[in-house]
Amino acid sequence: MGHRTTRPRTASVLLFLLMLGACGGKPPLPTPPLVLPPLERPVIRLQHSPSAATPVLIPAAAAVVFGGLPGVFVLRDGLARFRMVKIGKPRGDRLQMLSGLSGNETLILGNLSDVHDGSPITVLQK
Amino acid sequence: MAEPTNQNRQGDEPRRMNVAGRITSYFVDSKVTILIFVVAVLAGILALYVTPREENPQIVVPAANIIVTKPGASPKEVEQLIIKPLESILHGLTGVDRTYGIAMDSMGIVTVRFYVGQNREASMVRLYDRIMSNLDRMPPGTNLPLVKPVNVDNVPIMTVTLSSATMDDYHLRRVADDVLEHLRRVKGTSLTYLLGGRSRQINVNFDLGRMHHYNVSLLDIRRVLEATNVDIPSGALVNNGTVSTVIAGGMLRNASEVRNLVVSLYAHRPVYLKDIATITDGPGDIKYVHRIGYGPSYTGVRSPDFEEPAVTIAIAKRKGTNAVTVAAGVLAELHHIRPLLIPPGVHVDITRDDGRRADEAVNTLIEHLTIAIVTVVLLLVVFLGWRAASIVTITIPLILFITLAVGMAVGQSINRITLFALILSLGLMVDDSIVVIENIFRHYSKKGADRLTGAVSAVNEIGRPTNLATFTVILAFLPMFWVQGMMGPYMAPIPFNVPVAMITSLAIAYSVAPWAAYRWLRLRPLQHVEEHVPGWLERGYATVMGRLLASRRLRLGFFLGITLLMALVLAMPAFKLVLFKMLPNNNTDTFNITVDMPAGTALEPTDRVVRRIGDILRTVPDVTNYESTVGRPGVIDFNGLLRGSSVKKGPQYAEVRVNLKDKRARSETSVEIVHSLRPAISRLEARTGANIKLVEEPPGPPVRATILAEIYGPSYRKLRQIAKEVRYDVFAKTKDVVDIDDSNTADTMQYRIVVDHRKAALAGILPVEVAQTLQAFLGGYNAGAVHIAKEKEPVLIHFQIPVPDRVLPSDLRNIFFTNPAGNEISLGNIAQIRPVQAPKPILFQDQRPVVYVTGEMGTGSPVYAVLHMWQYLRTHRLADGVKLKQDFMSYPATTSYGLRWGGEMRLTLDVFRDLGGAFAVAIILIYVILVAYYRSFATPLIVMGAIPLTIIGVFPGHAIMDLIEGHYYFTATSMIGVIALAGIVVRNSLLLIDFILDFRRAGHGLREAVLQAGITRMRPILLTALAIILGTAAMVTDPVFGGLAVSLISGTFASTVLTLFVIPLVYYMYERRQEAKTASGNA
């Protein structure tokens, strides 16, 4: 007799356990952040007076297109950081910045193709 | 139960059987019972797998935006001519709850919100009908109104983000386009779209200098292009018995055809478009930016860059389909097509999966439910012995299965609230079976009892009080159906599922339980003894109760003590020992950050702030990834839909959606994470001037803002001033109020081009040409699309002046027009360019001009922050001497300046008002049914005396949790617990009184009857109480429904202990007085 009463209970508990099992699985461990190699690049420090009516000018070599966005790499805390900008008319080898830079940033120059947003930069003294 | 009662009842048993007895006599030895069993299990399993799963019940709030444009009209004009008449037309529509208006430059938007639960289709039909029938009242110069329904079903349940460090946004979008084409074939999907990346278009960049040279104006080119780019089916030729259709026209099929378009003649030679413009085939201007960044908890392949450009595929599901299966289908399809369509360098991240979320939420609760069942079963084994316990145990899944099946049949979904309702009713649903089994057991323990008739008469005997007790519980829950507003449908599964479970448990207790008991219930001598010899509990109770009954002084002291306790407990909220809140914050896996830069900010500075937010987010250990969208809102969610975030389009807006790692793998809740982010975010705000809000997903219905001050008054300029004062002098100075904002926009510059009518007329230029040219010049102009058969999105021909050529207002002067005589007229000659302040939008709510001041809570409950501000405004005047009249529920008078508190505060007030009302109705209903049962007006009052006793447990229970956890609130779910308690405790005292009456009918003296009934009923009452306490204990840890559990546990505990003494004593005193009265009357 006894086993007859226990069976439905066991079954129901089993059923619930099965449903629990369906959602289980251990979450994967986080991937450690990539360690990017430090790059040695020349930089230029913009010295644009904020009160000036003229727009900020940057060397044309500092401009990059990253993922379709026009921008520059700004040096901040030893890292190259992408900054989106709006580029106006070229003036010789310089570009007029319409928006995105305030004029006191340090821009990274040189070969920018392997510079990533977040690459450590050591300043190459000219 | 004592013998005399049975004789009393058994005397007329064979002839007059009640419903319970009749049901039992049919099922107790019937094969149908086995069928019930089988059908219930099958239906239940079907329901578990088929019923759509959701995290929270869907709230249907039909709403629509009606957009009316009137080019050139100022906000003031739009207010008078469009918003006011439109709002009044719509306000009269049946079912409309609220109307919100906003009058902007050249455009007005009225948002109509219908009452919660109104039929969406019917509401929309009524709305269209209303607008169409009033079209004749539109002022001249307005365009046709555009009705955009706000549809909950269009909120994507799934987002798949494609990103790449090497591919640009334009190519990424093309990949996403291909992927989307496959994903939207998955069954059950409805609206799908892409966010991010630029589409392909034919960019026509004009060179103004060359246009001058060839004397071609923008309007000329536009005219030529529009006349060229057409194909018209012209008819058919019939020859030789076949029909050949003829199509005439010169549709443009690619960029080179656009390049070679002849737009004019110059010196008898054609001028091609390529002569005056650079034409490229590719992405257009950047209007918004969408990208993904990865946090420390990201588990996929890392990108070398901190953030990557991304395109997100958003997929909504069809109404009524199961998010779990739709999401699984999408994932399977994605997995299948990934190697074929997605190039190796592209990352794929599932950034939203509501199907999985719903499934996890439901599974977690099923887990809780299982734990609850196991604990209750263990309790039963201890109290009843394993044989009786296993009979009760098999009824539990049956009741749950049938309840779920009923839910499926009426079209409910399985969500968190449904399952909470089931956990909540667990303790109660075993009770009916326990009562039945216990009584059958007692019958069987009598010598010579026939098993079959014994079972039937045992059920028959307890039928009436059990029915009554079950119906009181049902009555306690039913009025919750009438809770208004968004909280109504949110909580509706409780008043639906609990009564269904109760009725089912009653039916099962009368059919399956006696059937099983008849077969398997065996007596053992030991058990027999155990059941009937009073244990130490009973002996202790008898001693205390005996003394209380004997001594009047002791009794008085006891009641004084209870009264004092009650008074102390009721004073707890006043001393802030118990804090109130609408709903506590939920621990979720995602939250949003919205950025509002001052009006007039370009995309790049906004982007810079958003990247800084990314820098902050990447330091949070629990962040897996975050999606930033700059220039427009991200993929909408339910909260954003009702907060109206979709209108925030423009370079100064941005939104970041942050995904955290699974909450079960986290040590911190999302609330704590958001809280820890605030200092860094406010430093960023101070540095950049941005307004950054951390938007957590609300546990219940969304509100525009947690704290919302609606300020009304006659002059809008003054309202703006008042709002500023309320914002900086009141909100900013209140503790814990964060993310403060108001609906005023910053002052921005606008250039107004004033055409000199005389000069223009003399030059032969119409002002409309000026406006159209300028629009094309600045905003770009889409002159149709090229016809490329294979493209999935239309490839527009976009006219524009290159960005570097349109920087300063002086650049506008270079624009020229050609008059009919063929002369070039420059803009400077016929118009003046004047810098003016841009007009600001005017907001309306229910036809009243309004300015909003909003805030969120850092920690704590908005109730106290609002009360603090309310108190301040009540006693202080604002800086400019205005005294605001404050309201919570109704609109202030429009003749003076008034403030209405909205947001979560009003939701809280509404909900507690409705729940309080439901509670009152429940109590009245219980009273009515008890009067009918006892045929007395006084006895039901004694029975219901147990209800206030619950508060003695509930408030201290919350206070203790507050001490343990910190910030534990008495919430709407706690209040639901209190209502549930009313039904539960009445059940206990009802059976107690019933036994006293039985004992007295059997001839016992009053004191003896009271004492004996208490002793007899003590065990079953404690069993029920313990079942409820253990059953709901699994819920305590839930951030939202913990309050319900705390209410139930502490309330049941206090009330059970006290009921055992208070109810019999009150009855005793009442009866003594009655007897004394009769005696003196007789004398």
Question: Which pLDDT score is estimated for B469?
Answer: 86
Which tens digits make up the pLDDT trace of B636-653?
888 887 777 777 788 999
Asked if the Cβ–Cβ distance from B394 to A68 is below 8 Å, we say no
At B630, is the pLDDT very low, low, confident or very high (cuts 50, 70, 90)? very high
Residues in chain A closer than 8 A to B659 (CB atoms): none
> What is the 3 state secondary structure string of A17-43?
HHHHHHCCCCCCCCCCCCCCCCEEECE
B505 by DSSP, 3-state: which?
helix
Question: What chain A residue is nearest to B804 in terms of C-alpha separation?
Answer: A88
Q: CB distance from B45 to chain A under 8 Å?
A: yes
pLDDT of B772 above 90:
no
Minimal CA separation from B394 to chain A, in Å: 6
Minimal CA separation from B361 to chain A, in Å: 10
Which tens digits make up the pLDDT trace of B729-739?
899 998 888 88
Rounded-to-integer distance, Cα B485 and Cα B479, Å: 15
Question: What chain A residue is nearest to B168 in terms of C-alpha separation?
Answer: A67
B112 neighbors B101 (Cβ within 8 angstroms): no
Question: Which pLDDT score is estimated for A19?
Answer: 55
Question: Which pLDDT score is estimated for B523?
Answer: 66
Mutate to test the interface with B, among A1, A19, A94, A104 (most CBs of B within 10 A): A19
pLDDT of B3 above 60:
no
User: What is the DSSP track for B778-841?
Assistant: HT-EEEEEE--TT-SS-EEEEEE--GGGSSSHHHHTT-EEE-TTS-EEEHHHHEEEEEEEPPPP
Rounded-to-integer distance, Cα B1028 and Cα B372, Å: 9
**AA identity, residue B939:** T
Mutate to test the interface with A, among B359, B604, B629, B801 (most CBs of A within 10 A): B604
At B2, is the pLDDT very low, low, confident or very high (cuts 50, 70, 90)? very low
**AA identity, residue B866:** V
* CB-based burial label for B366 (10 Å; 0-12, 13-18, 19+): buried
Mutate to test the interface with A, among B608, B611, B663 (most CBs of A within 10 A): B608
Where is B151: in which H helix or E strand? none
Mutate to test the interface with A, among B306, B365, B422 (most CBs of A within 10 A): B306
pLDDT of B616 above 80:
yes
Which tens digits make up the pLDDT trace of B573-607?
888 888 888 777 788 899 999 999 988 889 999 99
At A8, is the pLDDT very low, low, confident or very high (cuts 50, 70, 90)? very low
- Write down the residue that tokens 């076949």 correspond to: B242
- Please tell me what DSSP assigns to residue B414: B
Interval B411-423 mean pLDDT: 89
Asked if the Cβ–Cβ distance from B297 to A12 is below 8 Å, we say no
B826 neighbors B765 (Cβ within 8 angstroms): no
Q: Which stretches of chain A are DSSP H helices?
A: 2-22
Q: CB distance from B360 to chain A under 8 Å?
A: yes
Question: Which pLDDT score is estimated for B250?
Answer: 75
User: Distances in Å between the alpha carbon of B100 and those of B108, B374, B596, B845?
Assistant: 11, 52, 21, 4
Question: Which pLDDT score is estimated for B736?
Answer: 85
Nearest to A59 by CA among A93, A25, A106: A93
Task: Output the CA torsion A53→A55→A59→A60 (10° steps).
Answer: -150
pLDDT of B702 above 80:
no
At residue B317's C-alpha, the angle toward residues B315 and B318, to 5°, is: 140
Which of B168, B611, B804 comes nearest A89 by C-beta?
B804
Of the listed ranges B325-339, B528-542, B706-720, B910-924, the one predicted with least confidence? B528-542
Residues in chain B closer than 8 A to A65 (CB atoms): 168
A53 by DSSP, 3-state: which?
coil
Interval B858-875 mean pLDDT: 87
Minimal CA separation from B27 to chain A, in Å: 18
pLDDT of B7 above 50:
no
B860 neighbors B718 (Cβ within 8 angstroms): no
Rounded-to-integer distance, Cα B201 and Cα B284, Å: 6
- Please tell me what DSSP assigns to residue B588: -
Asked if the Cβ–Cβ distance from B611 to A82 is below 8 Å, we say yes
> What is the 3 state secondary structure string of B281-319?
EEECCCCCEEEEEECCCCCCCCCCCCEEEEEEEEEEECC
B409 by DSSP, 3-state: which?
helix
Nearest to B428 by CA among B490, B488, B470, B373: B470
Name the packing angle between helices B1006-1033 and B1042-1082 (round to 10°).
170
Minimal CA separation from B421 to chain A, in Å: 18
At residue B768's C-alpha, the angle toward residues B765 and B769, to 5°, is: 55
Mutate to test the interface with B, among A3, A26, A69 (most CBs of B within 10 A): A69
Interval B333-354 mean pLDDT: 92
Rounded-to-integer distance, Cα B917 and Cα B911, Å: 10
Rounded-to-integer distance, Cα A58 and Cα A95, Å: 5
Name the packing angle between helices B903-934 and B862-875 (round to 10°).
110
Question: Which pLDDT score is estimated for B5?
Answer: 40
pLDDT of B38 above 50:
yes
- Please tell me what DSSP assigns to residue B616: H
B150 neighbors B641 (Cβ within 8 angstroms): yes
pLDDT of A22 above 70:
no
Asked if the Cβ–Cβ distance from B291 to A67 is below 8 Å, we say yes
Which tens digits make up the pLDDT trace of B474-509?
988 888 888 888 888 888 899 999 999 999 999 999
Residues in chain A closer than 8 A to B307 (CB atoms): 82, 117
At B683, is the pLDDT very low, low, confident or very high (cuts 50, 70, 90)? very high
Nearest to B782 by CA among B201, B100, B57: B201
At residue B488's C-alpha, the angle toward residues B483 and B491, to 5°, is: 110
At residue A3's C-alpha, the angle toward residues B387 and B1028, to 5°, is: 40
Interval B513-533 mean pLDDT: 67
Q: What is the total residue count of chain A?
A: 126
Return the CA Rg of chain B. 37
Minimal CA separation from B320 to chain A, in Å: 23
Q: CB distance from B443 to chain A under 8 Å?
A: no
Which tens digits make up the pLDDT trace of B363-409?
888 888 898 899 888 988 888 888 888 888 889 999 999 999 999 99
Where is B93: in which H helix or E strand? none
Rounded-to-integer distance, Cα B990 and Cα B926, Å: 11
Between B565 and A48, name the one with better pLDDT: B565
pLDDT of B778 above 50:
yes
Percent of chain B whose pLDDT exceeds 70 = 97
Q: CB distance from B548 to chain A under 8 Å?
A: no
Interval B660-670 mean pLDDT: 87
Minimal CA separation from B362 to chain A, in Å: 10
Minimal CA separation from A62 to chain B, in Å: 17
What is the pTM assigned to this prediction?
A: 0.85
Which of B167, B370, B391 comes nearest A16 by C-beta?
B370
Interval B1005-1013 mean pLDDT: 89
Which of B387, B607, B807 comes nearest A5 by C-beta?
B387
Rounded-to-integer distance, Cα B192 and Cα B171, Å: 19
Question: What chain A residue is nearest to B401 in terms of C-alpha separation?
Answer: A12
Of the listed ranges A26-30, A72-76, B545-549, the one predicted with least confidence? A26-30
Asked if the Cβ–Cβ distance from A17 to B308 is below 8 Å, we say no
Rounded-to-integer distance, Cα B882 and Cα B895, Å: 13
Percent of chain B whose pLDDT exceeds 90 = 26
**AA identity, residue A15:** L
Q: CB distance from B803 to chain A under 8 Å?
A: yes
Q: CB distance from B48 to chain A under 8 Å?
A: yes
Task: Output the CA torsion B909→B910→B915→B920 (10° steps).
Answer: 90
Interval B425-443 mean pLDDT: 85
- Write down the residue that tokens 């101070």 correspond to: B686
Asked if the Cβ–Cβ distance from A67 to B164 is below 8 Å, we say yes
Give the strand order in the sheet containing A94-99: A56-59, A94-99, A86-91
Most confident of A8-22, B399-413, B1011-1025: B399-413
Query: How many helices and strands (H and E) does chain A possess?
Result: 1, 10
Question: What chain B residue is nearest to A65 in terms of C-alpha separation?
Answer: B168
Minimal CA separation from A34 to chain B, in Å: 7
Which tens digits make up the pLDDT trace of B147-205?
988 888 888 999 999 999 888 899 999 999 999 999 999 999 999 999 999 989 998 88
Question: What chain B residue is nearest to A114 in terms of C-alpha separation?
Answer: B304
Rounded-to-integer distance, Cα A63 and Cα A73, Å: 8
Q: Over chain B, what is the mean pLDDT?
A: 86
Cα A75 off chain centre by? 13
Which of A9, A23, A116 comes nearest B305 by C-beta?
A116
Rounded-to-integer distance, Cα B592 and Cα B624, Å: 14
Residues in chain B closer than 8 A to A67 (CB atoms): 164-165, 167-169, 291, 308-309
pLDDT of B8 above 60:
no
B411 by DSSP, 3-state: which?
coil
Minimal CA separation from A125 to chain B, in Å: 25
Question: What chain B residue is nearest to A88 in terms of C-alpha separation?
Answer: B804
Q: CB distance from B291 to chain A under 8 Å?
A: yes
At B10, is the pLDDT very low, low, confident or very high (cuts 50, 70, 90)? very low
Residues in chain A closer than 8 A to B805 (CB atoms): 89
Interval B432-438 mean pLDDT: 86
How is residue B302 written in tokens?
């890392």
pLDDT of B13 above 50:
no
* CB-based burial label for B241 (10 Å; 0-12, 13-18, 19+): exposed
Q: CB distance from B349 to chain A under 8 Å?
A: no
For B323-332, b where at least 16 C-beta lie within 10 A, e where not — what string? bbbbbbbbbe
Asked if the Cβ–Cβ distance from A12 to B602 is below 8 Å, we say no
CB proximity under 8 Å: B 390-419 to A: 390-391, 393-394, 396-397
Most confident of B360-364, B679-683, B753-757: B679-683
Which tens digits make up the pLDDT trace of B222-251?
888 888 887 777 788 888 888 888 877 778
Rounded-to-integer distance, Cα B726 and Cα B716, Å: 15
Interval B68-78 mean pLDDT: 88
Q: CB distance from B606 to chain A under 8 Å?
A: no
B261 by DSSP, 3-state: which?
coil
pLDDT of A2 above 70:
no
Question: What chain B residue is nearest to A6 in terms of C-alpha separation?
Answer: B390
Asked if the Cβ–Cβ distance from A118 to B301 is below 8 Å, we say no
Minimal CA separation from A89 to chain B, in Å: 5
B97 by DSSP, 3-state: which?
strand
Residues in chain A closer than 8 A to B803 (CB atoms): 86-88, 98
Question: Which pLDDT score is estimated for B529?
Answer: 40
**AA identity, residue B337:** I
Asked if the Cβ–Cβ distance from A68 to B516 is below 8 Å, we say no
Q: How many interchain CB pairs under 8 A, A with B? A: 140
